[in-house]
Structure 1
Amino acid sequence: MRKLLLLTIISMVLFSCKKEKPIKNYLIISGKIENFKKREVTLTGFDFNKKIKFNKKTKSFSDTIKINRDGYYTLILQAKKVEVKLYLKDTVNTNIIIDYKKSDAVKFKGTNANINNYFVQKRNLWKKQLVSANKYFALEETVFLDKVEKYKDDLTELLIAENLPADFLKKEIKNIDYDYLRNLSNYEDYYKYLNDDKDFVVSENFPDPFDNFNYNSNKDYVNSFSYRVMLGTQLETITKNKEAEDYYLAYLTTVNNKVTDSLVKNDLLYKDSKLGITRTDNLKEYYDKFIAYSTNKEHKDLLSKSYNLLKVTAKGQPSPKFKGFENYTGGTTSLDDLLGKGKYLYIDVWATWCSSCKRETPLLKKLEEDYHGKNIEFVSINVDSKNLHEKWKQTIVDREMTGVQLFSGKKPKDLEWAQKFLIKGLPKFIIIDTDGNIVNPNAPAPSQGDRLINVFDDLNI
C-alpha cells in the first residue's frame, strides 16, 4: 500500500512538471523600416544599450531582448539619428512600422502601443507649440514663461486624456515636471547665446528650477532623462564654483558629498571616470578616491584596468613612440625624429570634426608665435581616419595652422599610440621633455591661459 501511494505521488509530480510552462523573462522587439539603408538599429535605455541587426532585403528587424527594468527606451535609427521613443516591459512584445523618411508616421503594435503612440503625440505637441528650441529659448522672459507653462499644462491634459496605465502615468507626470524645470534651468544661458546678449540675467521673479531639488531620487534618476541632466549640471556647477586646480578630482568629492543614493552615486561616478581618469592631473589620488567612493564592483574593476594602462603614460614615464605619420610638408615623421634637438614637445591631438579643437586653433597659433625660437616645438597630430586625408590638408590651409602638422590616418580607438594614453576626448594636449619622457600627459590647453604659461615657466621655456 505504501509503495502504491509513493508511485501515485511520483506520477502526480511528474505530470505537474510536464504541465508547468517555463517562465518568460524576455520580450521580442521587431518591426519594418522603409527607406533605411543601414545594417543595424540601436535600442538604448538607462544603463542599457543593444545593437539589433537590420535585414535590408526584408526591410525588417527582430530580436529577443532581456531588459534590466521596465521603463523608457529609445530605438535609434543611425545615419540621421531618427529616434523612436518607447515604453517597454520585460515580457511585453513590441512591433514598430516606420518610414525612415517620414518618421512622424510611426505605427505600433503590442500591449504598450497606446503609450508609444502618446510619445508621438507628445513630440507633435512640441513642434506645434514651441516650433524649435532656438526660437523657444530666444523669446523674451514673460513670453517664454507663458509658453513653457502652457506646454506643460497641455501635455499633462494630453497624458490624462489618453487613459494610460497607472504605473506609467506616475512616471510620466514626473517626467513632464522635470522637462519643465530643465527648460527653466536652460533659459538664461540659451537666451544669452541666441540673442548675443552676454549680460542677460533673468528677473528676480523667475522660478528657481533647483528650489528643493532632490539629489537622491533613485526612481527619477532611472526614469527621467531631464532629471539626470539637471542633476549632472548642478553637480558640475558646484564643482566649478570651487575653482579647484583639478576639476575632475574635485568632481568626485562633490558627488560623494552631495549624493547618498548608491545607484545614483555609482552611476555618476562611473560616467565621469571614463573621461575623468584620462584628464586628471592626479592619477593615483583620483583612482584611490573613486575606489573609496564607489560601491559597484564592476565599475571598480573597469576603472582599475584604465588606471593600470594610464600608469604607463604617467608623469616621468618614457613616452610611447609613434612612427611614420605623414608630415604636411612632405615625407613621414616619427617621435624619434623630433627628439634630440634640446626642445620640449607640446603635442596637440585633434580631429577635423572636433569643434573644441577648432576653438583652440587660433590660440595655439598665437602661442607658437609667442614662443618662436625658444626651447619648445609645437606638434599637431591629426587622428582622423584615412578617408578624411584631404579634409585634413584643407583644414590646415583654411585655418592657417602652423607648427609640425602630422596625419595618423587612424581614429584614437584604432591608433596604438593614442590608446596608450587612453585618449577618449579631443583635443588632448601632452608635454614631452627633451629626452622623450612625459612631463604632463594632460597638459593645459591654450585656452587655459595662465595655467599653461605657468607650466612653461616652471620648465624654463
Structure 2
Amino acid sequence: MKKLILLCIACVAFFSCKKEKPVKDYLILSGNIENFKKRNITLEGFNFTKKIKFDKKTGSFSDTVKIDRDGYYTLMLNKKPINLYLTDTVDVKLSTDYKKILKAKFKGTSADIQNYFLLKKKAWNEHIANPNKFFALEEDVFLEKIDEYKDALTELSIANNLPTEFLKSEVKNIHYEYLRNLSNYEGYYGALTGNADFKVSEDFPDPLKDFNYSSGDDYVNSYSYRKMLGVQIKKISQEKNKEGEDYYLTYLETVQTEVNDTIAKNDLLYKNAKDGITYTDNLKEFRDKFMAYSTNKNHKKEISNTYNILKTTAKGQPAPKFKDFKNYNGGNTSLDDLLGKGKYLYIDVWATWCAYCKREIPLLKKLKEEYHGKNIEFVSISVDANDDYDKWKQTIVDREMTGIQLFSGKELADLEWAQKFLIKGLPKFIIIDPDGNIVNPNAPVPSQGERLINIFDELKI
C-alpha cells in the first residue's frame, strides 16, 4: 500500500513539474508571390508598420507577426495593396502573381475574410474604376452610382458567410466609405470640372448628419472614418482660427473640445504635434497644452524631447552657427561672416528638388528688390547633396536668383545646423537679428506677403 501511495505521489509530482505549453501570442504571415522583384514587403495597420523580407530566389516570404489589436491591415507589395483582416493568433498564407493581384488565393481559417476583400476590390473596379470620372459625374448620376456601389458592397458582405463580429465592423466600414464619398463630391467635382463655385443641391444627402466625432472603434477600424474626422477637425480649426492666431494651437484646442474618445483624441493630437510643434509661434504654450490634453505616455515623452531640442532655437536664443558653406560668388561663407553689419538676416532653407521652394523664388526676388539698401540681408541656403552642386548652380542661373546663395553640400537629415531647428519641410524661413539672435524660427514665406511685411515693419526694417 505504501508503495502504491508513493507511486501516485511521484506521478502527481511528474505531471505538476511538466512545463506548461506557452500560449501562442502571434500569427505567421507567409506566402508565395510570382513575378515580384523587391527585397521587402510591408504590413501596415493602424499605427503599425512591419517590413517583411521577401526571398526573390524562392519567391516566398514568412514572418512571425505580433499585433496590438485584431483588425484591418494592408500588405503592400511595392505599390500594390492587398487588404487583410488579422487576428492575433490566426495564421494567414497567401499565394498570388504580382501581375494578377486580384487572382490571389488564401489559406487558413480566415481565408473567407481575406477572399472577401478581393471580391470587394473587383466591385470597386466594376462600379467606380476611375475616381476622376466618378467624381466628375453630374449630381443625380453620381448619387445613383454611389447608391448602387454601396448596395453591391452590402450584398457582397452578407452573401459571403463572414464571421458575425467582422460583418458588423464591415457594414460600418461600407457606410463610412459611402459618407466619405458624399463629403468629397462637392470639392472634387469643382476641381475636376473647373467649376470652382459649384455647390451641391439642397436635396444632397448630408454626410455629417448624426456623425459621431468620438468613436474609438470606428477610428481604429475604418480608414474612411479617420479621414472624415480628420478633415472635419481641420475645417473646424480653420473656422475658429482668427487672422494672426496660431493655427497649431487652435487645432489642439479643437481636438480637445470636439473629440471625447481617448484613442481618437490622442492620435489626432499626436499627429498634429509631431510637425506642429516645429511650426508653432508659441512653443512653450503648445507643449503645455499638448501635455495637458494627451494621455499617451509615449507621445508625451516624444513631444517633450522635441520641445527640449526646439527651445534652444526659440525666439531670443542665439542662432546656431553654420560654417564654411560654399558661396555662389566664390569662397566659403559662415554665419559669423554675415553678422556684425547691423543687418537682419532673412534666411531661406531650400533645395533644388523642392517645388514649393521654387514657387517662392520670384516673390523672394521681388522682396529683395523692394528692400534693397535697407538693414536686411537675404540669404538662401541649399540643402542639396554634395553631388548636386552643379544642379544648384544651374538653378540659380535659370531662375535668376539673387541675394547671398550658399550651398551646404548636405541633405536636410544630415545637416547638423538644420537639425537644430528640427526642420520638417521646405522651404523654411528664419529671421536672425544683427547680433545673431533668433527673431523668428518659423518666419512667414514671401507668399504670405502682409504677414511677413508686418514683421519687417515691427523690426523697423
TM-score (norm 2): 0.92
- Cα distance in 2 for residues equivalent to 1:23 and 1:199: 60
SS in 2 for 1:368: helix
Looking at structure 2, the residues matched to 9 and 271 of structure 1 have their Cα atoms a distance apart, in angstroms, of: 61
Question: Map of 1:321-400 to 2, 5 A cutoff?
Answer: 321-386=321-386, 388-389=388-389, 391-400=391-400
Alignment of 1:39-438 (within 5 A): 39-78=39-78, 81-244=79-242, 245-386=245-386, 388-389=388-389, 391-438=391-438
Q: Is the 8 A contact 2:241 2:250 kept in 1?
A: no
Residue 427 of structure 2 aligns with an amino acid whose one-letter code is P
The verdict on how the C-alpha distance between 1:379 and 1:25 changes in structure 2, with shifts beyond 3 A counting, is same
Secondary structure of 1:215's counterpart equals coil
Q: Secondary structure at the match of 1:367?
A: helix
> What residue identity is the alignment partner of 2:221?
N
Q: Does the C-alpha gap of structure 1 residues 226 and 330 become closer, same or farther in structure 2, counting only changes over 3 Å?
A: farther
The 3-state SS of whatever aligns with 2:62 is strand
Task: Write the deviation string for residues 221-276 of structure 1: whole angstroms up to 9, x where unpaired.
Answer: 00011111111111111111112410001111111111111111111111111001
Cα distance in 2, alignment partners of residues 233 and 55 from structure 1? 40
Query: What is the aligned length?
Result: 459
Structure 1 unaligned spans of 5+: none
Which 10-residue stretch deviates more, 37-46 or 302-311? Answer: 37-46
What amino acid does structure 1 have at the position aligned with 2:192? L
Shift of 1:24: 0.3
- Distance in 1 (alpha carbons) for counterparts of 2:452 and 2:182: 36
Please say which of residues 309-318 and 186-195 is displaced more in the overlay. 186-195
Distance, in Å, in 2 between the alignment partners of 1:148 and 1:65 is: 37
Quote the Cα distance in structure 2 between the aligned partners of 1:274 and 1:409.
27
Give RMSD over aligned pairs. 2.4
**Matched residue of 1:55: which SS?**
coil
Which of 285-294 and 379-388 deviates more? Answer: 379-388
Whole-Å Cα distance in 2 between the matches of residues 286 and 33 of structure 1?
Answer: 48
- Alpha-carbon distance in 1 for matches of 2:2, 2:216: 57
- Cα distance per residue 1:138-179 (max 9 Å; x no partner): 222222222211111111112222221112111111111111
By how many angstroms is 1:23 displaced?
Answer: 0.6
Amino acid at match of 1:406: L
Instruction: Give the residue type in structure 2 aligned to 1:307.
Output: Y
What SS does the corresponding residue of 1:42 show, helix, strand or coil?
strand
Change (3 A) 1:157 1:3: same
Structure 1 residues 87, 440: CA separation in 2 closer, same or farther (over 3 Å shift)? same
Which residue is equivalent to 1:456? 456
User: Which deviations, in whole Å up to 9, do the C-alpha atoms of 1:179-237 show, x marking residues without a partner?
Assistant: 11111111122222222222111111111111111111010000011111111111111
Distance 1:90 1:311 in 2: 42
Higher mean Cα deviation, 338-347 or 352-361?
352-361
User: Which amino acid counterpart does residue 282 of structure 2 have in structure 1?
Assistant: N
What is the SS of the residue equivalent to 2:42?
strand
The letter for the 1-side match of 2:128 is L
The 2-side partners of 1:6 and 1:320 are apart by 80
C-alpha distance in 2, partners of 1:35/1:203? 49
Residue 309 of structure 2 aligns with an amino acid whose one-letter code is L
Distance 1:282 1:337 in 2: 30
Once the two structures are overlaid, the 10-residue window that deviates more, 373-382 or 135-144, is 373-382
Matched residue SS, 1:449:
helix
Q: Percent identity?
A: 68
Larger CA deviation: 302-311 vs 320-329: 320-329
Q: TM-score, normalised by structure 1?
A: 0.92
Alignment-mate amino acid for residue 433 of structure 2: D
Query: Cα distance, 1:77 vs. partner?
Result: 3.1
Amino acid in the other structure paired with 2:184: N
The 2-side partners of 1:124 and 1:328 are apart by: 56
Tell me how far apart the structure 2 counterparts of residues 124 and 423 of structure 1 sit (CA, whole Å).
Answer: 42
Gaps (5+ residues) in structure 2? none
Kindly tell me: are residues 405 and 5 of structure 1, through their superposed partners in 2, closer, same or farther at Cα, counting changes over 3 Å? farther
